[in-house]
A and B are shown apart, each in its own frame.
Chain A
């Protein structure tokens, strides 16, 4: 028991003690402690912190971690307090919400020369608000469709491996049906496995809003429903009226609903590890799943680009790093946040987590992304990547639209669901 207690105490203090121990240069100024709020296992990682501390020996760190599901609530409570954390590692699409609320400090003045040319456009759009950059971004993710090669081979299905050959959704549905084993709606092997995000239920904006967006056209007349369908929110973030319940969106959502109901090729609730246990032919996930399978190939697998209706699109975004406006040490905190996302330190952080970098110059340093299968992610990011609709009301939009998409997946009427969603988002925007 004594050993367990000792181990717990040692472990509990390790997070704060480790960086301090690593300080090798001598501190000759006032010591500063930066407080970081992040999710477990997220960056900034110890190696990058220690390297940074070589140049900043007077800075130590106190790290607090909360599960991702509680991160938004925790930030809402802590960020507005008199003594907030200095650094937040938060869900990227919330940047504009936090900027509008005055939680985040603009870091534009701290960005290094060349940042503008090096950063992915989708990342910059997501993290900017009213002409200021509020987060330099560290990593980027997007989703693609993994497949179980043994199952697809057995079904005689050959998924495409490049973007120019990507399936449309009706083509993908035929593959799901061909590969699925068992009764529709309750098979032993699903055509399309459940998401690992959230509670495993469908509807997440990150993964499922792209069905209707891909039935739009970004190049169409801005007044057309095709244009509004693709953007899913006014480009300036001012309204959603007429952007979610367009005929194109309803058509796509009717197809989406059929996947879970009439066709019965996708489950309505989560099944832990369904894809990795061979219980699903196809599965939509980020590069994290590929990184895990490369390390431990429990199945024979491949990646196919995300299917689409008319305009290929995938959502970008990940957690990102920002500085609180009420930080007691804004200068050094901003410097730290920017340094963590630039050059060698950015590489150290991104390489440990296994996602994609936000800096184009770093892509060459990740060999796994140079070739198939992981190259699909890079190609998608560069050619199809779009941020989730950037808006100061994204948090509210995300929740309302997720609920609407989920009700459609559960068999609800797409038009009614999207009309209600537009009304609810408009209500949030009224404030």
Chain B
């Protein structure tokens, strides 16, 4: 008896019971309710994504898309042949790293403060949330004035101490750090609120039991709170990393990607390539690579920071 014969003789799975008219109507209704969203998702997310993937293999400009021609892997080869993609990605990763390194510990500490019974919590909550809800343009303009190399407020304070004025946004060595600090300042409130939500979900019994058993506050924090917040931490790290990799406004509004391409963040670089340099094919290829990088980093972070505890 062959394997096929055995398969034919095996008892067949029970047939699915016939769907009655009510069930069919429910299905149609469900599709009717879901259709608008699915159509929008398809038209505005997946179709452009597919077009972008196709355009990554084309050479064309937005001014004359009819003249597009297939160039195979040329746009991807250009990423290795020219320095711009490498430099832009390096600047973006460094930017994301600085932002995450500032936002995560600071957001956590501020969340601990807001979760405590210390005074002035409402005031602090307002102060740290204001930048989150303020327009990126307003924030960028304000920081531009603060960081003015000649007459900025920060240089004014530096000069009061007799120290040399700093070039800040006009220095290739300082500009990226400055826009990272600005972005972290703007985002820390959001991270704090996420951490606060996580803290308020940690069962109080665990810390109370630990305190009764003689654990210090620090031991409770380090051995109970931090581990139990690992899911929240994972979420905040992923969100902040993805936000940072997609940052556009600081480079667009404050530095034009300079000086010397030191703040040429990848999304701004993609915009510049498509709309200014009229190299939309290359911009699409960069977008595709960025998509894969963001996906890869998110998956890696989720694997590295996977939760060992549930509550």
**Chain B, 232-267, contact with A by CB distance < 8 Å: what is the 0/1 string?**
000000000000000000000000111111000000
- Choose among B59, B149, B259 the residue that contacts A412 (Cβ–Cβ < 8 A): B259
One of B159, B172, B259, B278 near A76 (C-beta < 8 A): B278
Chain B CB within 8 A of A313 CB: no
For B148, the chain A residues whose CB sits under 8 A away are 269
List of B residues within 8 angstroms of A14 by Cβ: none
The answer to the question of A406 belonging to the interface, with a C-beta cut-off of 8 Å to chain B, is yes
Is A186 touching B170 in the complex (CB atoms < 8 A)?
no
* Chain A residues, CB < 8 A from B63: 75-76, 79-80, 97-98, 101-103
What range describes how many residues of B lie at the interface? 20 to 34
Taking a contact as CB atoms under 8 Å apart, the answer to whether A199 and B278 are in contact is no
Give the distance to chain B from A67, nearest Cβ to Cβ, in Å.
Answer: 13
CB <8 Å contact, B149 and A268: yes
In the complex, which residue of chain A has the Cβ closest to the Cβ of B272? A399
Asked if A396 and B276 sit within 8 Å, CB to CB, the answer is yes
Q: Name B84's closest neighbour in chain A (CB-CB).
A: A424
Residues of B within 8 Å of A201, CB to CB, are 170, 256
Contact among B66, B144, B151, B259 with A406 in the assembled complex (CB-CB below 8 Å): B259
Nearest CB in chain A to that of B147: its residue: A269
Quick one: CB contact mask for B50-89 with A, threshold 8 Å, 1 for yes?
0000000001011111110000000000000010000000
Cα distance A314–B275 when bound, in Å? Answer: 28
B150, B275, B278: the one within 8 Å of A269 (CB): B150
B residues within 8 A CB of A412?
172, 259-260
Across the interface, do A268 and B150 meet the contact criterion of CB distance under 8 Å? Answer: yes
B81: nearest chain-A partner, CB-CB: A427
Measured between beta carbons, the chain A residues less than 8 angstroms from B67 are 101-102
Q: Do A185 and B150 touch across chains, with their CB atoms under 8 A apart?
A: yes
Q: Judge if B183 is at the interface, Cβ distance under 8 Å.
A: no
Whether A428 contacts B167 by the Cβ 8 Å rule is no
Say if the beta carbon of B207 comes within 8 Å of chain A. no
Tell me, yes or no, whether B165 is within 8 Å of chain A by CB: yes
Docked pose: A77 CA to B63 CA in angstroms: 7
Closest to B254 in A: A199
In the complex, what residues of B have CB within 8 A of residue A407's CB?
172, 258-260
Which of A72, A76, A410 lies in contact with B258, CB distance below 8 A?
A: A410
Q: Which residues of B contact A75 (CB under 8 A)?
A: 63
Given contacts A269-B148, A410-B167, A410-B171, is CB(A80)–CB(B65) below 8 Å?
A: yes
* Interface size range on A against B: 20 to 34
Q: Which residues of A contact B256 (CB under 8 A)?
A: 199, 201, 403, 406
B207, chain A: closest CB distance, angstroms? 51
| Residues in chain A near residue B66, CB distance under 8 A | 80, 102
Task: Report A-chain residues with C-beta under 8 Å of the C-beta of B171.
Answer: 410-411
Residues B259 and A410 in contact, CB atoms below 8 Å apart: yes
Please state if A185 and B278 are interface contacts (CB–CB under 8 Å): no
Determine chain B's interface SS by DSSP, over half rule: loop
Which of A103, A186, A269 has the most B CB atoms < 10 Å from its CB? A269
CA distance A79 to B257 in the complex (A): 27
Question: Does A58 touch B at the CB level, under 8 Å?
Answer: no
Query: Which residues of the partner chain B approach A72 to less than 8 Å between Cβ atoms?
Result: 275-276
Q: Is B279 an interface residue (CB 8 A)?
A: yes
Contact A427–B82 (Cβ < 8 Å): yes
Distance in Å: Cβ of B157 to nearest Cβ of chain A? 13
A267 to B152, CA, bound (A): 12
CB distance from A260 to the nearest CB of B (A): 9
Contacts of A268 in B (CB 8 A): 149-150, 167, 170
Bound CA span A417–B148, Å: 23
Chain B, Cβ-Cβ closest to A428: B277
Complex-state Cα separation, A426 to B170, whole angstroms: 27
* Bound-complex Cα distance A332 to B66 (A): 26
Given the interface pairs A103-B63, A186-B151, the reply to whether A431 lies near B276 with Cβ below 8 Å is no
For residue B268, give the distance in angstroms from its CB to the closest CB of chain A: 12
With a cutoff of 8 Å between Cβ atoms, the chain B residues found around residue A97 in the complex are 63, 278
Closest to B151 in A: A186
Q: Which of A77-130 contact B (CB under 8 A)?
A: 77, 79-80, 97-98, 101-103
Contacts of A98 in B (CB 8 A): 63
- B64 near A103 with CB under 8 A, answer yes
- B82, B150, B259, B277: the one within 8 Å of A396 (CB): B277
**Contact partner of B64 among A102, A271, A410, CB < 8 A?**
A102
Indicate whether A269 sits within 8 Å of B64 (C-beta atoms), given known contacts A72-B275, A185-B165: no
3 nearest A-B pairs in the assembled complex, by CB-CB distance: A101-B63, A101-B64, A410-B259
Seed contacts A186-B151, A271-B151, A399-B277; 14 additional CB < 8 Å A-B pairs: A72-B276, A73-B275, A77-B62, A80-B62, A97-B63, A98-B63, A101-B63, A267-B149, A407-B172, A407-B259, A410-B258, A410-B260, A411-B167, A411-B170
Please name 19 pairs of A and B residues whose Cβ atoms are closer than 8 Å in the assembled complex, sorted by A.
A73-B275, A79-B63, A80-B65, A101-B63, A101-B64, A102-B63, A102-B64, A102-B66, A185-B165, A268-B170, A269-B148, A396-B277, A399-B272, A399-B276, A403-B261, A407-B172, A407-B260, A411-B167, A411-B170
